[in-house]
Amino acid sequence: MRVPLKTWSIALAAALTLAACGGEEAEPATDTSTMAVTTAPVVRRELASAITASGPVTAVEEMQLGVELSGQRVTSVNVDEGEAVARGDVLLTLDARTLESDLAQAQAALREAEAGAALARSNLNRGEQLAGGQYISASALDELRAARTQAEARVGTARAARDAAQLRRDFATLRAPAHGVISARLVQPGQVVAAGSELLRLIKDGALEWRAELPAADLGAVEPGDRVELRDRNGAMVTGVVRAVSPGVDAASRTGTVFADLPDPGALRPGTYLEGRINTGLATVPVVPDEAVVLRDGFPSVFVVDGEGTVSIKRIERGAADNGYVEVRGGLAEGAQVVTRGAGFLADGDRVRVVAPNAAGEAATPATADTAPAR
């Protein structure tokens, strides 16, 4: 039986259509709406452990200097703030005219008493010679001895009065009690001062320290001898050593204080508030690559990839950082896969394609400008 040409044409067209449809179904689908990223697991490794804290730079020992006289006028101030002084240097002087007059009177009284004592001793010597020849009575000799003792006592009284007058005169000159640096000057020439009032302030030996407040959880990790690193306002590194750690914590704030000596403070000045790093040694801790940590809403966070290629944001407690790794103190389980390259482009709930770390050109960039993940 002959088949009409029209029928063959229809059948051929149908076969070609089926072949075309079958070919399209065989091609693998490619999702171009997901971003290519690389991941790394949360692992434990040895890390240079450090604690970051903030605190002021202060004087190890700051001495408040004043005078022990009241109602005296300042005649000169020989130092200014920031000036280095040596032990014994004259810092200021008071008007000492009345004190010098009192001292002169006390010295004259002492000389008078000493002359009386010399006369009493001479009389006693003559009396003892006369008593040997029985020219004077025993009672007269006793009177001579008593006169000598009274005269020597008056010498002691006059000498003590002279010493007191000399001490008051010395109080009119304020001298540096130790080597150091003047940190404050609170007096001017012509000012009438009172005893005990603060006139100058001295940083003993110019020694500075850094005092950092740490929570109780971190305080136990710091020990005397640990190295401290600070940076001044010019960016220069200043190193120090922990001298002491407070034995307890404040009941209200639950913090304790770390005292770190700064042997070479450089440009640091007392009162400067700085952030510093306390190196506490090596420790094996959970870590993630530094590039995996991003800031979201002001908090350090990472993106964790589940088995279906969906990311979820996890806020973490960040610890020490060293050699490209960051300590994770909380918020992640060991072994979790976190996004490394490409984390900065992601939002919670995005779907991603995990690629090999050597696919540098494909990872860390959205597939196209039109299909970048929405924020």
The tens digit of pLDDT for each residue in 191-246 reads 999 999 999 999 999 999 999 999 988 888 899 999 999 988 788 899 999 999 99
Same domain, 231 and 365: yes
Same domain, 253 and 357: yes
What span, in angstroms and rounded, lies between the C-alpha atoms of 177 and 173?
Answer: 12
Q: What's the token pair of residue 218? A: 């971190």
Same domain, 287 and 217: yes
Same domain, 252 and 351: yes
What span, in angstroms and rounded, lies between the C-alpha atoms of 169 and 87?
Answer: 19
Same domain, 345 and 236: yes
Residue at 91 is within a domain:
no
What span, in angstroms and rounded, lies between the C-alpha atoms of 31 and 168?
Answer: 95
Same domain, 281 and 347: yes
What span, in angstroms and rounded, lies between the C-alpha atoms of 166 and 104?
Answer: 9
Residue at 201 is within a domain:
no
Same domain, 46 and 106: no
Residue at 355 is within a domain:
yes
DSSP letters, 191-257, are -EE-TT---EEEEETT-EEEEEEEEHHHHTT--TT-EEEEE-TT--EEEEEEEEE-SS--TTT-EEE
Which amino acid, 327?
E
Same domain, 165 and 287: no
Residue at 239 is within a domain:
yes
Residue at 54 is within a domain:
yes
Check: CB of residue 229 under 8 Å from CB of residue 239: yes
Per-residue confidence (pLDDT) for residue 373, from 0 to 100: 43
What span, in angstroms and rounded, lies between the C-alpha atoms of 300 and 319?
Answer: 10
Residue ranges making up the domain that contains 331: 39-59+207-371
Same domain, 144 and 211: no
Number of domains in the chain: 2
Same domain, 162 and 300: no
Q: What's the token pair of residue 14? A: 């149908």
CATH code: domain of residue 350: 2.40.30.170
What span, in angstroms and rounded, lies between the C-alpha atoms of 167 and 69?
Answer: 11
Same domain, 246 and 352: yes
Per-residue confidence (pLDDT) for residue 23, from 0 to 100: 43
Q: Which of 171, 193, 222 is at the close of a domain?
A: 171
Residue at 104 is within a domain:
yes
Same domain, 217 and 363: yes
Residue at 27 is within a domain:
no
CATH code: domain of residue 112: 1.10.287.470
Which of 261, 93, 285 has the alpha carbon at shortest distance from 189? 93
Q: What's the token pair of residue 286? A: 């959970």
Check: CB of residue 83 under 8 Å from CB of residue 181: yes
Residue at 34 is within a domain:
no
Per-residue confidence (pLDDT) for residue 1, from 0 to 100: 43
Q: In the chain, which residues have pLDDT < 70?
A: 1-33, 359-375
